[in-house]
């Protein structure tokens, strides 16, 4: 039989816990709202502003019509953002370096072949490591080509039909494989969440950290020591997750040592940056319950806007702005470039530069703001 007095006493005690810790109560209310906002915008199906370069070697009437059709898409649905270049090699190199998602090459005899109905064609060079953007661009260009002459609907291949010859610059990357960089970053996030600052929070919760106050250990010694230990554990976890993920998804083993070195550098910088960020955020808390609440919140605002699941080009402007300062977005981009394009450090200089600057900034803030008191 239930004793109502004891039951109400347990209820009162549990409610007082929330009363003493308003942060937990506030986050419990705000987190569902934040989940709704971020998840709703991270999975938008409409792509906008996909950068595409055009090399018009023809300048004839049909070439102009094709470009006008694409400009109409740029001005209307805003699916693409068009840039012009004169040299085909420069355009393809820019695609490989990540400046554009595709390049449309219009050959010199395009308009002439359309007029003479001699099977005209154009070339579309795609960054096919991003399947969603690549297929969207393919459909957009095909639609623009079909609109050149809308008097008939071709049923089979004809000599008077404009053909699109698509060229994939990289090996095929399916959706399963495209998730691997995000899985590695998720492993790093979980590792940094359960080491480093979390250990400090647990020490404070158990009263063990008071031992530090009896020693001459400085703030920088405490912070740096915990970060280094967390770096070792998290790096091992991330490398193991990457290896297992590559086996499961069938990603080919990288041949060059430069690629392996680049991956390790990206993992280390990302781990250091997130460990330092955790110290900045969790450095003043003294209860592990807060860590549990913040973990879901931080995962939403860092992982989903990183481009690990869906292209950043699909985000609204405010979420794109967040992605520009999100360290996980740069880590995901760097890992995709290395794993799927076979590139080295020279192709991810901007990602490395941001991760290095972010790590230095967060480590400085974490040491300055760390409180070496009870």
pLDDT at site 152: 37
The pLDDT-based confidence of 2 (bands split at 50, 70, 90) is low
The pLDDT-based confidence of 1 (bands split at 50, 70, 90) is low
Beta-carbon neighbour count of residue 75 at 10 Å? 9
pLDDT at site 155: 43
The mean pLDDT of 134-152, rounded to a whole number, is 76
pLDDT at site 172: 76
Residue 101 has pLDDT above 80, yes or no: yes
The pLDDT-based confidence of 268 (bands split at 50, 70, 90) is very high
* Sign, Cα dihedral of 38, 194, 276, 312: negative
Structure confidence by residue, pLDDT tens digits, 224-236: 777 777 788 888 8
Residue 354 has pLDDT above 80, yes or no: yes
Distance of alpha carbon 267 from alpha carbon 305, whole angstroms: 19
Nearest in space to 365 (alpha carbons), one of 212, 357, 305 = 357
CB-based burial of residue 84 (10 Å sphere; 0-12 exposed, 13-18 middle, 19+ buried)?
A: exposed
Burial 237-271 (b: 16+ CB within 10 A, else e): bbbebbeebbeebebeeeeeeebeebbebbbbbbb
pLDDT at site 358: 93
What is the DSSP secondary-structure string of 61-83? HHHHHHHHHHHHHHHTT--EEEE
CA angle 364, 366, 372 (to 5 degrees): 120
Distance of alpha carbon 31 from alpha carbon 22, whole angstroms: 14
Q: What is the mean pLDDT of the chain?
A: 77
CB 84, CB 56: distance < 8 Å? yes
Residue 327 has pLDDT above 70, yes or no: yes
Distance of alpha carbon 299 from alpha carbon 240, whole angstroms: 21
Structure confidence by residue, pLDDT tens digits, 189-204: 888 877 766 667 776 6
Domain with CATH 3.40.1710.10 in the chain: 50-168
For residue 225, the cross-strand partners are none
Residue 10 has pLDDT above 80, yes or no: no
CA distance from start to end of the chain: 45
Q: What is the pTM of this model?
A: 0.69
The mean pLDDT of 254-272, rounded to a whole number, is 85
pLDDT at site 44: 52
Nearest in space to 305 (alpha carbons), one of 36, 34, 41 = 41
Residue 336 has pLDDT above 60, yes or no: yes
Query: Class of the 50-168 domain?
Result: alpha beta
The mean pLDDT of 235-243, rounded to a whole number, is 85
Structure confidence by residue, pLDDT tens digits, 38-92: 644 555 556 778 898 988 888 788 888 888 888 888 888 888 888 988 888 888 8
pLDDT at site 227: 77
């Amino acid at each position: 039989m239930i004793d109502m007095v004891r039951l109400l006493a347990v209820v009162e005690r549990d409610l007082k816990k929330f009363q003493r810790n308003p942060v937990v109560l506030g986050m419990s209310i705000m987190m569902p709202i934040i989940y709704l906002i971020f998840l709703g915008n991270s999975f938008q199906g409409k792509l906008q502003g996909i950068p595409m370069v055009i090399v018009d070697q023809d300048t004839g009437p049909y070439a102009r019509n094709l470009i006008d059709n694409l400009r109409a898409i740029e001005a209307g649905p805003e699916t693409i953002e068009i840039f012009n270049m004169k040299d085909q090699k420069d355009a393809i190199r820019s695609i490989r370096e990540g400046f554009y998602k595709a390049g449309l090459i219009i050959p010199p005899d395009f308009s002439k072949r359309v007029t003479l109905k001699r099977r005209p064609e154009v070339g579309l060079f795609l960054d096919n490591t991003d399947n969603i953007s690549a297929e969207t661009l393919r459909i957009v260009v095909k639609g623009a080509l079909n609109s050149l002459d809308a008097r008939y609907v071709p049923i089979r291949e004809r000599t008077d039909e404009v053909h699109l010859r698509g060229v994939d610059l990289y090996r095929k990357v399916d959706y399963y494989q495209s998730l691997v960089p995000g899985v590695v970053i998720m492993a790093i996030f979980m590792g940094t969440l359960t080491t480093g600052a979390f250990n400090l929070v647990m020490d404070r919760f158990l009263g063990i950290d008071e031992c530090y106050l009896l020693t001459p250990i400085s703030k920088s010694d405490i912070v740096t020591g915990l970060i280094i230990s967390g770096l070792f554990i998290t790096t091992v976890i991330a490398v193991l997750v990457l290896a297992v993920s590559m086996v499961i998804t069938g990603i080919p083993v990288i041949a060059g040592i430069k690629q392996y070195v680049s991956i390790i550098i990206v993992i280390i910088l990302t781990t250091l940056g997130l460990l330092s960020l955790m110290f900045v955020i969790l450095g003043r808390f003294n209860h592990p319950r807060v860590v549990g609440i913040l973990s879901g919140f931080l995962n939403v605002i860092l992982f989903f806007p990183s481009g690990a699941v869906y292209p950043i080009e699909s985000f609204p402007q405010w979420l794109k702005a967040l992605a520009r300062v999100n360290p996980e977005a740069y880590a995901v981009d760097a890992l995709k470039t290395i794993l799927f394009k076979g590139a080295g450090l020279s192709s991810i200089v901007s990602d490395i530069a941001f991760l290095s600057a972010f790590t230095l900034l967060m480590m400085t803030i974490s040491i300055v703001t760390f409180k070496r008191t009870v």
